[in-house]
Structure 1
Amino acid sequence: MVKPKKANLVQNKNVALEKQLVQGKITKRKNKDKFHLRAEESSMLDSKTSKKILDAAKAQQLELNDDNFPSLGGEKAYTHVNIGEIAEEDENKDVTENDFMDNLEIDAEDAKAFERFQNPQEGKRTLKLSDIILEKIQEKQQDIQSKLTDNGSLNIEDIDPRVREMYEGVRDVMKRYRSGKVPKAFKIIPRLRNWEQILFITEPHNWSAAAMFQGTRIFCSVLSHAMAQRFYNLVLLPRIRDDLCEYKKLNMHLYNALKKALFKPAAFMKGIILPLLEAGDCTLRESIIFGSVIARSSIPVLHSSACLLKICEMGYTGANSIFIRYFLDKRYALPYRVIDAAVFHFIR
């Protein structure tokens, strides 16, 4: 049998017992494999290199978002929004004062050159918002009366004096509105059968800019596409054009209202963009500000294509060319019919 090896006993002479016990408890550290990094593989990067890497990654991400054709993802599903929840949201968190051109300056020579391409057959705007609403209501009443064959088949009753008095109070509130909750009587206007007549009592042309923003949020979320189109065309569009004509810049709340109107893109195109261009008197300032909403927002490709097709079928004007440029810069996968219309528009 092999004898076990004897442990090498080290005789520690003249060593204190305490030191011997300590030396017995401490074990030697094992040698681990060491990995030496080269200079180019250093784990720490300086601040300049880190900033360059982050900037390059951000630029690549933005380029991918623009180049991947957002229209191929399909339309976004719009869910029903409760009116009570709408009023409690912060009305100023969409756009800040620096998000759009509040101090937009137009060169006088550029404006004159732009007006040369305007349609000379169309006259300048002379009607105010209140005149347009009153005219539309009178036309509707005449249309109803002309269709009646029997005077007793339909009774058109006047508004209850108590209801009129209540909405006259709402009118005074909307004139001075700045922030906070809107009256409950105002929220139910879109659900009324004669909402246009009730809306005229509140005098939308005298609303504050913040009140117009709140009204647009409520009306565009409750009304159908056809009714929202009428609200955009009769109330929102004239108010924005009057504000631009008077102050030469657009209020932040009105710009937010214009962006909120895209909640219903079909009504936005039919009630704002196309009437603006069909009028023939769209100014350079208006085309830039309205076009910036299109450029900065995500719009379904079908609605964008339909609006682009209608614009291309119009005559050549400076405003039409600017809007065509905004739509084409979105780089959507357009149908062949729209592409053909854009080509023929410029080769006429």
Structure 2
Amino acid sequence: MPKDRSELTKSKNRSRHDPLAADEDRTARILTKKKLSSKSDKSHSASSQKFRQKLLQQVRKQQKDLQGEHFLDQNDSKATSTWSCDSSDSDWEDTYEEWNNINDDLDSRAHSNSDEELLLNHQLVDGASSPHSTYDRLDQAILEKLEQESMSCTNAMDTSDTDFHHDHCNVSQCPPTFHYNAKVIESYQLIAKLLKNYTSGPLPKAFKIIPSLINWQQILELTNPAEWSPQATYAATRLFASNLNEHLAQTFYSLVLYPHFRENIRNNKKLNCHLYASLKKTLYKPGAFYKGILFPLCESNNCTLREMAILGSIIKKNTIPSSHSSVAIYKLAQLPSSSAVSFFIGTLLKKKYALPYEVIDMVVEHFLSRKKDQLPCTVMWHQCLLILVQHYKEDLTAKQKEQIKALVNARSHHAITPEIRSELASSAKTRDQAQ
């Protein structure tokens, strides 16, 4: 008897399977779901582990801040590296290359400037103070300034009537005398030991807040800046240059960075690369750089050729606003003539600023003042005069050109004077015609 057709249809449906492609797609989706689930489990466990690690780090950091352990982390470390820097500085490689090229150039010319250096020493003032005592005067200068402020406040209080008037002794003009806790003094003495051996890494938080304090000079004295390592000086210069105004930055430059700059050159016959980078950072406040480093160096009357070359390279290779440089040239021209003054005036004139006529007139008067002087003029003086004539001959008046011609007749140099005469003769245009 034949089978029912419905039963045959059911048996065929049960034995029928899906196509091979569909079966493979189903298998691939199942495997993908398994992989995604396993990855999500792993990522979840890894993220939770990272979160726990970050949480533990924050807890440890807060405990260190509360206990003051960050003062003691690097207390006994030694300065084993002479070249370690902050990787965040993008221009550090350029700074090191400039520093290396300058030292090579100075070494190659060390024996060729003996006559010029003898003449430079001959022109030094007899009563000039020795630069070897620069570090010794650092703490004394800070203390004397504080004593003068306290004395001025005391005198103003004594001259006032029984009724107190704020006009006689203003609070901002007479800062109060601060008495420090023993723990504060101990903490900053530990920071002083750290900065003496500092090579790299973050600075203590107690040191970073010094620029924001009213009595920052007294606190800075507790850290003994005279014994800072070059790396610590660089880190401190970055901190103070970015957080102090121009007037206070000038004080920091003159009392801390300027002695380090001169002492390092004197001891090593070249400047440490970190101190060179520190001088570049001072240009963040150009007015403070000129008042705190350049002017004291020219007024010291004992500036060496090596110091001139290093500081001149920083001025030459970096951009400085013309307003600050114009004032600097004007102030330098008012100083007594010397090799340092002539060198830095020439360096600034080479930058070809659009100088006001008052600045050019002052520079011309500076050179004319040597017409009746009996001391011999250095090569730097003649070179600076040549630079003035080359770049600003059309800004001179006809009278000034005649005065310069008479000057070079009285003060001549066998190689430079003919070039000065040639420059004056090649330009018929004067300031009078432009006006």
What is the correspondence of 1:9-48 to structure 2 with a 5 Å cutoff?
A: none
What is the correspondence of 1:58-207 to structure 2 with a 5 Å cutoff?
A: 89-90=88-89, 93=92, 95-100=94-99, 101-103=102-104, 104-105=106-107, 106-107=110-111, 108-148=114-154, 149=157, 156-207=177-228
- Identify the match of residue 244 of structure 1 among 240, 265, 277: 265
The question of whether the paired residues in 2 share the 8 Å contact of 1:95 and 1:252 is answered with no
Q: Matches of 1:131 and 1:324 in 2, distance apart?
A: 28
Deviation for aligned residue 1:96: 4.1
Deviation for aligned residue 1:132: 2.3
CA gap 1:301/1:196 in 2 versus in 1, 3 angstroms: same
Q: Matches of 1:322 and 1:292 in 2, distance apart?
A: 11
CA gap 1:188/1:91 in 2 versus in 1, 3 angstroms: farther
The residue matched to 2:278 in structure 1 has which SS? helix
The residue matched to 2:362 in structure 1 has which SS? helix
Deviation for aligned residue 1:121: 4.1
CA gap 1:96/1:259 in 2 versus in 1, 3 angstroms: closer
User: 1:81 — aligned with what?
Assistant: none
CA gap 1:311/1:111 in 2 versus in 1, 3 angstroms: same
Counterpart residue identity of residue 97, structure 2: N
TM-score with structure 2 setting the length: 0.57
- Identify the match of residue 254 of structure 2 among 233, 242, 263: 233
Q: Matches of 2:178 and 2:253 in 1, distance apart?
A: 27
Structure number with the bigger relative contact order (C-alpha 8 A, sep ≥ 6) is 1
Moved segments of 4+, more than 4 Å: 152-155
Most deviating of 214-223 and 167-176:
167-176
Across the two proteins, how many residue pairs are aligned to each other?
Answer: 262
CA RMSD of aligned residues (A): 2.3
Q: Matches of 1:91 and 1:183 in 2, distance apart?
A: 24
Gaps of 5+ in 1: 1-86
The residue matched to 1:102 in structure 2 has which SS? helix
**1:346 maps onto 2:347 in alignment:** no
Counterpart residue identity of residue 315, structure 1: P
Q: Matches of 2:255 and 2:116 in 1, distance apart?
A: 30
User: 2:429 — aligned with what?
Assistant: none
What is the correspondence of 1:256-267 to structure 2 with a 5 Å cutoff?
A: 256-267=277-288
CA gap 1:234/1:297 in 2 versus in 1, 3 angstroms: same
- Percent identity of equivalent pairs: 38
The question of whether the paired residues in 2 share the 8 Å contact of 1:91 and 1:214 is answered with no
Q: Matches of 1:158 and 1:286 in 2, distance apart?
A: 40
Deviation for aligned residue 1:287: 1.0
Q: Indicate the structure with greater helix content.
A: 2
Q: Matches of 1:226 and 1:167 in 2, distance apart?
A: 25
- Identify the match of residue 294 of structure 1 among 287, 295, 315: 315
The question of whether the paired residues in 2 share the 8 Å contact of 1:228 and 1:267 is answered with yes
User: 1:12 — aligned with what?
Assistant: none
The question of whether the paired residues in 2 share the 8 Å contact of 1:189 and 1:195 is answered with yes
CA gap 1:323/1:129 in 2 versus in 1, 3 angstroms: same
- Identify the match of residue 332 of structure 1 among 353, 366, 375: 353
Q: Matches of 2:176 and 2:338 in 1, distance apart?
A: 48
